[in-house]
Chain A
Amino acid sequence: MTDPILEFENVDIRYRTEKGNDVYAVNDASFSIDRHDYFGLVGESGCGKSTIADAIVGGLDSNGEVTSGTIRYKGEEIQDYSESEFNENVRWKEISVIPQSSMNSLDPVMKLSNQAVEMAKYHTDLTKTEAVDRLRELFEVVGLSESRIHDYPHQFSGGMQQRAIIAFALYLQPSLIIADEPTTALDVIMQDQIIDYINGLKDEWDISMLMITHDISVVFENCDSMAVMHGGQVAETGSVVDVYDRPRHPYAILLQNAFPDVRFPDRELAVIDGHPPQLRDEVDFCTFADRCPWAQPECREGAPDAQPVAGDDDHQAWCVRADEMEELAADHLEPNADEESILEGQE
């Protein structure tokens, strides 16, 4: 294992509101991303995963704030950076973003080439021509026709805009790309193409990736390691293989069951009842407790600490009963005997 490129340590993020109903969006979050790692962050909408993405690049709304904990990028603490420090040290040269809504993220009144020139102007010494040439190369890389670099965004289809956004993300050869739900706005075929494409970057580019999604299967298929979030808390982190094979947080267990598994197309999908709590107060309990079939009073008496999963490197679950889970959730962990993976059949 190399040095982590990004580390979250006990990070709390809070949004202040005018009437004092602060939102405790992220609580005691810890995870780390290794260099060259593709890291998946998965959870329901509203669980805090996009807030984490914003916090990394200083993109929180003006009322959002990292109230405690540390965020380290390449060993440097960045959680208290000012806007200009983010601009100088982090944004785009080091960390770029593939935003959630690619459709509306490109400035509608600027030609794509000009948007590239603008990036180059603030972050590099490239001349205008060089900046445009660079975009031209990247258009080729992402599979767009070079001739269209002087087009306006509205002249592109959704998929093409997404590719342009990826080209922009790669533009300054950052060390880390945050892909926040990169495919939600696209149709299914396009989603696959884009995901494959992002996946393919791994081989050619020297980058790490933080891929944020609500689709756990995407993470399983494309990432090296991952974190599962629920209600502003990190539930479980570890390598994809570990979390897949030995999930130890009830939410991770149920979540796996809630997505279709290509290998078992006939399996009935599980439904996770209930909703995560409104995070209006200091969070000193497990936010999954109300939905958890195995909850105990203890779960509501304090926020859970990380429990290392025996036998695995860097595999942790934030559940007081993590040790017992293998037993308690046996039904969920073992596929029914009469089911047979279609993949196995083919092998």
Chain B
Amino acid sequence: MPPSGNRVEEKGIDRRQALKVISVASAAALAGCGGNGEGGDGGDDGGGGDDGGGDDDGGDDDGGDGGSSPEGLGERVPTLTFQYWSDQGPPTVLFEETISSIQSVASDIGIEVETQPMTTAEGITAVSDDVRDFHLAVNSHGPDPGRLDPNGLLQAYSIGNAGSNGQYNPSNYANTEYSDLVNEQVSMGVPDERREVVGEAMSLYSEDLPFIPTIERPTTAAINTDMVEPVEAGGAGLSAVNWAALVESGAQTTGGTDTILANLPGEFLTDSFYPTVGDTDSLGLYTQLTHSPLMLYDSDYERVPVLAEDWEVSDDGTEVTFNLRDATFHNGEPVTASDVKWTYEFLSEQYHDGPYQWTDLPEDLTVEAVDETTARFETPEPAPTLLTAQLPTFGVLPRDAYVDAGIEENPTDFEDPMIGAGPYEIATYNNQENIELVPHDGNPAFEVESPIIMSIYDSVSAVRRAFENGELGIAVTLTPDAGRQIGETMGDTAQIVNGAAFLPFGMMPQMSYAPGMHHEFRQALSHMVDRQGLNETYAFGESDVVTYCTFNSQQHPWYNEDVLTEAGPETRDVEAARQVLEDAGWGWDDDGNLYYPEDADLEAWPEGEEPNPDNF
């Protein structure tokens, strides 16, 4: 072979290697956003915990059984693994700060703490399967509009969802009495009676502490007052899921600007037909802006009439009668009782026997169009959440327009006319890109002035830069930190709107096994977290601490402090945490390591099984 051939081969190798390196690197870069694989196998827990402790003290207490723990104590408490969702944007920052708040005093209580970031999908699967790789989950309940009625989350925590059955109970909380109350309230037709049963269930829940709340979930938005008139914001503030404050204030531009430019987070605009949207986030957008329901929750989380003048509930709760206001759809047709009838019967049917994912309307719902402006909703059993969760969430659709578009033949794949009766009409819609809204004057409740264009932004800092550069008139779903920075750089030209979502942040101890199954341990953790500190570091003091155990925030229409148990102090109290543990028989060795009480149970039910309702 001539020498020239050799040279070529060398070159060939170099090139191939270069290619290989590049393609591997890019594959890794691409895959990098996909989370951390399976997560640890948890094999470390046992070894680091009991055995290590045993060797230290084994010499003294040679007697009897286990022999390795200080006298009168059980096994050493293992290193605690805190799982959290790593892909939630601003909330992920809070999750991490919450864990470090515990971590900073962990040694005072004699425990060690490690973290296990997971994507939301991974984390939920792990909790649903009760895999026991981690002892706590530091996650959140998403503030979806339907959760303004407590039923959804009450159900989630019921015993039927606990254990390794693939169903999601955020703490694997098992309490039969609580679960029975939950099942009872869902079909109670008399609002006051239902409120009482819900209160009893919440009271049990609050006592059991399956959720350790920390602070309210802040919402931060900014308005460039050179471009858009400031708004009066209620407790809900202004956010991508809650535009109530904007429509209530009339949505006016100023200073020669003719269109309100706003951002939406990346998970929005995933499907043009909103009753089927794959994520409930977008519901808030459509409900408040384009597809007005009969009534909805306003910027203070109170129900106000929109297309309905008023409504009346029958004594047994099986009938609700709405009187409609004068209203027109975006295509100019009037909103009639037969549109109401068609809309909700169709959505109910498609939820129970078809592909619609969210409407959650009661089965066998019938709506009678009594006359043009009167519609009566009837259910065989009382369906209290109809009025508090479903009807305020889903807007009335024009029957003819949707039937003509073929929705009945093909409920998910038809040409969506995108018509509602909301204060805004959808002029242009581009999946995952942008949406253009123009004012519609046929809405009886809200009068708005300026068109809005919302564009998808994936990164909070990109939103902040665009806002500061005058490319956005309204920036929503900012971090509190970004809001503060905008306030500093823009001064008076920016109105910073702070509010709170209706579900707080907190920790979910896994109650299927130790130590999360022990009430005193959950209580101790609740004493250890520095709520005030989190509010300062994460929300710059703009949020509120939550000291009573509940999954509802203090803004939530169902928040009732009277039935709740105090979960912990505003600032941390390590002494109280130690005291709680000591009172329950826990103890420490000479090095300050925490041990279970003698004969303490280490699992509430066997791994891989479900709790037996008779035992809880």
Contacts and interface: CB of A to CB of B under 8 A. Distances in A.
B6 to A, nearest CB: 11
A95 interface: no
B2 A157 contact: yes
B63 interface: no
A108 B11 CA distance: 14
Interface string B1-21: 011110000000000000000
A158 B2 contact: yes
A108 B2 contact: no
A158 B2 CA distance: 8
Contacts of B4: 103, 108, 153-154
Contacts of B3: 103
Contacts of A103: 2-4
B60 to A, nearest CB: 76
Contacts of A158: 2
A158 B3 CA distance: 9
A176 to B, nearest CB: 30
B1 to A, nearest CB: 10
Q: Tell me the interface secondary structure of chain A in the complex.
A: helix
A154 B5 CA distance: 8
A153 B4 CA distance: 9
A157 B3 CA distance: 10
Interface string A106-123: 001000000000000000
Interface string A148-164: 00000110111000000
A154 B9 CA distance: 13
Interface residues of B, number: 4
Interface in A137-186: 153-154, 156-158
Interface residues of A, number: 7
Contacts of A108: 4
Contacts of B5: 154
A104 B3 CA distance: 9
Contacts of A153: 4
A208 to B, nearest CB: 32
Nearest to B5: A154
Nearest to B1: A154
A290 B2 CA distance: 43
A103 B2 CA distance: 9
A153 B5 CA distance: 11
A154 B4 CA distance: 6
Nearest to A154: B4
Nearest to B7: A108
A47 B3 CA distance: 28
Nearest to B2: A154
A30 B138 CA distance: 92
A38 B4 CA distance: 33
Of A108, A153, A154, A156, most B-chain CB atoms within 10 Å: A154
Nearest to A185: B3
A103 B4 CA distance: 8
A131 to B, nearest CB: 25
A145 B454 CA distance: 76
A157 B5 CA distance: 12
A156 B2 CA distance: 8
Contacts of B2: 103, 154, 156-158
B270 to A, nearest CB: 53
Interface string B104-125: 0000000000000000000000
Nearest to B3: A103
A186 to B, nearest CB: 13
Nearest to B4: A154
Interface in A265-313: none
A112 to B, nearest CB: 14
Of B3, B4, B5, most A-chain CB atoms within 10 Å: B4
Contacts of A157: 2
Interface in B1-52: 2-5
A126 B2 CA distance: 33
A59 B3 CA distance: 26
A65 B2 CA distance: 36
Nearest to A161: B2
A154 B1 CA distance: 10
Nearest to A155: B2
B478 to A, nearest CB: 58
A153 B2 CA distance: 10
A209 B4 CA distance: 29
Nearest to A108: B4
A154 B6 CA distance: 11
A108 B2 CA distance: 12
A239 B2 CA distance: 40
Interface string A77-96: 00000000000000000000
B200 to A, nearest CB: 88
A108 B8 CA distance: 11
A157 B4 CA distance: 10
A108 B6 CA distance: 13
B65 to A, nearest CB: 82
A159 to B, nearest CB: 11
A345 to B, nearest CB: 43
Interface string A35-52: 000000000000000000
A103 B6 CA distance: 13
Contacts of A156: 2
A108 B4 CA distance: 8
A174 B4 CA distance: 30
A81 B597 CA distance: 100
Contacts of A154: 2, 4-5
11 contacts: A103-B2, A103-B3, A103-B4, A108-B4, A153-B4, A154-B2, A154-B4, A154-B5, A156-B2, A157-B2, A158-B2
Given A108-B4, A157-B2, 9 more contacts: A103-B2, A103-B3, A103-B4, A153-B4, A154-B2, A154-B4, A154-B5, A156-B2, A158-B2
Question: Lowest 4 CB-CB distances: which A-B pairs, in order?
Answer: A154-B4, A154-B2, A108-B4, A103-B3
